[in-house]
Structure 1
Amino acid sequence: MPNNRRRVTLKDVAARAGVSPMTASYAFTRPARVAAATRDRVRRAADELGYRPDAVGRALKSGRTHQLGVVFSEHLAYAFDDPAAARFLAGVAEVCVEQGRGLTFIPTRGDAADAGRVLSAAVDGFVLWTTAADDPVLAAVAEDPRPAVIQGGPGRQGLACVTQDDYGAALAVASHGLREGRTPVVISFPLDRDRSRMVTTGAGLPPHVPFPVTDARLRGYRTAIERAGLSWAGTPVVVVARNTQQDGAAAARDLAPGLAPGALVIAMSDELALGAHQALRETCPQAAYLGWDASPAGRRIGITSVTNSLRDQGRRCAQGALDPDRLDNREIPWTITGH
């Protein structure tokens, strides 16, 4: 026979306990914000009504969900499609497995509901993928009592940060590529949360970029180009919307008409450099490529790249979010690999 019993809802628990549904929800997901007597009343109501799925029941009694939330300022599929993001998440997942924690993905959409969506997640702490300085999620998470760590920045009071010296690494890799007297072009990550695609020059870029990783790398490239006696203002730059090989190929096609035979394509990732190489290998076979993340695919075609362990960054972020006393705030070391 079918089970016609109606499922008990959180509203039922709230009504039995004499509290609002939001208070009942906070008793489960954010117990520190609910008075002890109220939490006990909600617990008794949940017990009486049979509203106690195992995970929620444990969270209600212990104040812990045993879940770590990962906040992505990208489309959720990016976490699986982008090799760099996948390596970072592998490091986060390793720590969760070691410590017996679950992993909850919390994607953002760039709308007004982002902050509430993140804060309502039933997690014990947050790991944030790098985002823009004006992202409202930053302020919301920084003010939340749960520990939070961001990869790559921006830095914010209340948020720990695990990162590397993007400016120094960008300066070093660009200087390395420019030693052969090549003419540089740049393929850049997005400049802001609008992710507007742009074909411009160094002169057309804003003086400050909200994405800290993009800002630091552009400044490093600029310093290297100017130290080589070249014009940053006249250097062609394509700003892509996404970090994909398809975007890198499209950027390269925009740059192709003005490329010198021995061009130096300075890309902010191996994915972008791989796409550019695919688009230019027949029309500009003598071009050289700089990337970032030292991917196996990039190494196979000779891309000179910055090596930095995103897996290690993921581990450090997860460890810091689960146990803030263990957080190592030192920068992740980097090296240059390739030709």
Structure 2
Amino acid sequence: MLFISKRFIRYFDWVSFLLVLAISIMGILFVYSATYRHCADISIFFKKQFFGLITGILIYFFCSLLDYRTVCRVGFFLYYFSIGILILTMIKGSIGMGAQRWIDVGLFKFQPSELSKLFFPMFITYYFLNDDKITQPPQKAFIIPFLIMLVSAVLILKQPDLGTCLIILFSGLVMFWFIGLSRKFFITVGIVMVISTPILWECLKPYQKKRVLVFLGYGQMQKERYQIEQSKIAVGSGGFLGKGYLQGTQNKLSFLPESRTDFIFSVICEEIGLAGALFLILLYLALFLRLFLMINSISTFYPQLLCLGLIMHIIFSTIINMGMVLDLLPVVGIPLPFVSYGITHLWIGFASLGCINSITSQRYVHDL
């Protein structure tokens, strides 16, 4: 049900909207830069990203008008639908760069795994809300949602997409911890993970093993380490103020792979330097701080739980992307939220923040 009134408009969180809009504008500027070539037409990637930004803003405002109970109920069933789409992707998905992660819908390729980031928090919230459980349910109540989360994670991992798989797992565990899953469980999982490391290593694809080894310092500069070394050169060569917008040589001379997607932060560092990179980081920090303050002001548990789940995938993606670009984490193929090229993750990000805005705005209007 759409929820709109004069009071709702008054309490609409314009601060968080303007922050995410500023981040998105930086994103589209550097998608243009990453795909710009002298004497060439404007790239199709920029045009698609611009379309994604405009429609993403519309999605943001639409989701801001939804009642959270309706969002949870619909999202609960759509999460099962997303699992079905993940299975379909394994069978008939579009293949690119050795992975089968996309479904071609004509104008763009849609990545179904992104749906899990949006619908999983709704599924978890509605699961406990629908079953009328207290805010600290018995430990056995976590079994079914935990197993369903693992099903999604395994399907995404099989694409293979280790990065998104980890995002789903991390976000889900944070939500489970917030609901009241025991500390003993997390300690047990940690011990099992350490003991089973050799088995997990053998389950990785060859290119995934290579990425871990590169992170540990192995590999040759012109082969296995080429991508990360070019990224570090781009970041370091930018200095404090950068080489200037559209002047990044690592990108323009095609030394830097995936410059419009996973490694767009390298382009930002090269062209506007440390100062520009810090400005973008401060925008993210301001956005996350603002959202957490707004979430903390919600007086009831389940709306807080939903907001937490919707924001965590954006936070984890931001940290992992910047970390891998700077060689602080292994390369796992995670886009930078609202900045990297890609319509699907742009829409999911706007939808997630729109839902949060809906809940935080309505807290003044009626008792959630």
Give yes or no for TM over 0.5: no
TM range (shorter): under 0.3
Normalized per residue, the structure richer in helix is 2
Normalized per residue, the structure richer in strand is 1
Decide which structure has the larger Cα Rg and report it: 1
- TM normalised by structure 2 equals 0.23
Higher relative contact order (CA 8 A, sep 6+): 2
- TM normalised by structure 1 equals 0.24
